[in-house]
Amino acid sequence: MKTSFLKTFLGAAVASTMFLAACGGDSSDGLPSAPQSSDDISAPASSSDALLPPSSGAEPVSQAGDPLVSSSSVAGPAPESSAVGGDEPQGNGYTPGTLEEEIAKDAPFVEASAANGTLLPLADVLATVQPTERVIFVIRHARRGSATGQESPLHMTGVNQAQSLGAAIATVNATDPIFYAHSGFVRTQQTAMNIFAGRGGDSTQFVSTVVQKLAGGGYVKNDSLVTVHADEDFGTNQLRLFASWMYKGEYLDTFNDLTETSVALLTQHILPAFPPEYRIGIMISHDMVVAPLTAYLTKLAVDFKAYEDLGQWCGYVQGVAIIIAADGSRRYIPVDGLYGQYAHYNGTNKK
């Protein structure tokens, strides 16, 4: 469903909301910190963050500071609810075959992308996309405030992160229309809106689509076991649990098959939602969707191994580029969307 800027989304109830709500920890300097748990509530960030000017000079779509300081401040529109259990939006961009067929079809694309383990600047990757190719960037939302619910807005640092990314995109492509999609969470919609504004768009003309599967992705088999195993084995840290499943194949009672779930997410939800008239798409999701999807698409080459170092987990506005050739073949490249004073990028996956 498409909405105008003045409409709102309350989001859809999804099976994995209980672990998605927090989407990692926040840091007061705008860089992804080493989060302690997916449902961790961080300490209030410095109030100076809320006073930072938007990096692009555009009017921020959200002016929200730390929700613990201003709990009623949810600036910018809140996502409007899609009907729970309603159909996914279909942009007629892709008609999937059976899951078995799609897994077999995707295998050579993943194999060819296995060398792509380094997060590259998103705008640089966009600049390499050929006129005959199309690209979808599936990335994590920008930095949220300390609140962790579905209606938690971006922190002011997140506004700047998103607008800085929009400005960087404008330097390599300022004219092609971009298709924006997000989950039903406020922070994902606000990330998309601020990328649009940072690129120079008129916020009153912002249009986006809710793809409900971007919240959860279908990776969790048993929500209660996420909590049980995280508490018993990782001191409540769910990120270590997710990484142990992704890279070591552990906790199969808790998670669904990485390959099957990723291919289903890609071919039944992401690709079909991308309208064929667009060359560029940006879909905003959450770390516990983006991290396993990116790990699968790069054949585990990208290093989100939080069980070794929490600082290696998927950071804000990081994710993967899905580049589609004219013949339908695909290549996958992990991307980093942090720019300007919010960037900490030196060729490796650092936060």
Using an 8 Å Cβ cutoff, are 130 and 324 in contact?
no
Q: Three-class SS of residue 236?
A: coil
pLDDT of residue 152: 93
Q: For strand 318-324 and strand 134-140, is the pairing parallel, antiparallel, or unpaired?
A: antiparallel
pLDDT of residue 27: 32
- CATH fold of 2-342 reads Rossmann fold (3.40.50)
- Give me the residues of the chain with pLDDT under 70, please: 1-93, 341-351
pTM here is 0.78
Q: What stretches of 121-266 show up as alpha helix (H) in DSSP?
A: 122-128, 156-172, 186-198, 223-234, 238-248, 258-265
Reported as a single tens digit per residue, the pLDDT across 143-190 is 998 887 899 999 999 999 999 999 999 999 999 999 999 999 999 999
Q: Would you mind telling me the total number of residues written for the chain in this entry?
A: 351
Give Cα separations from 108 to 96, 98, 103, 125, 135 (angstroms).
17, 17, 10, 21, 18
pLDDT of residue 285: 98
Q: Tally helices (H) and strands (E) across the chain.
A: 10, 10
Per the listing, tokens 């990757």 go with 125
Give Cα separations from 12 to 47, 83, 174, 273 (angstroms).
31, 7, 32, 17
Give Cα separations from 202 to 58, 61, 160 (angstroms).
9, 10, 17
Q: How far is CA 22 from the centre of its chain?
A: 13
Give Cα separations from 119 to 115, 343, 344 (angstroms).
12, 12, 11
State the Cα–Cα distance between residues 58 and 56, nearest whole angstrom: 5
Count of C-beta atoms within a 10 Å radius of residue 87: 9
pLDDT of residue 343: 57
Q: What is the 3-state secondary structure (H, E, C) of 252-298?
A: CCCECCHHHHHHHHHHHHHHHHCCCCCCEEEEEECHHHHHHHHHHHC
Q: What is the 3-state secondary structure (H, E, C) of 330-343?
A: EEEEEEECCCHHHC
State the Cα–Cα distance between residues 59 and 62, nearest whole angstrom: 9
State the Cα–Cα distance between residues 141 and 135, nearest whole angstrom: 18
H helix or E strand, kind and range, residue 103? helix 99-112
pLDDT of residue 166: 97
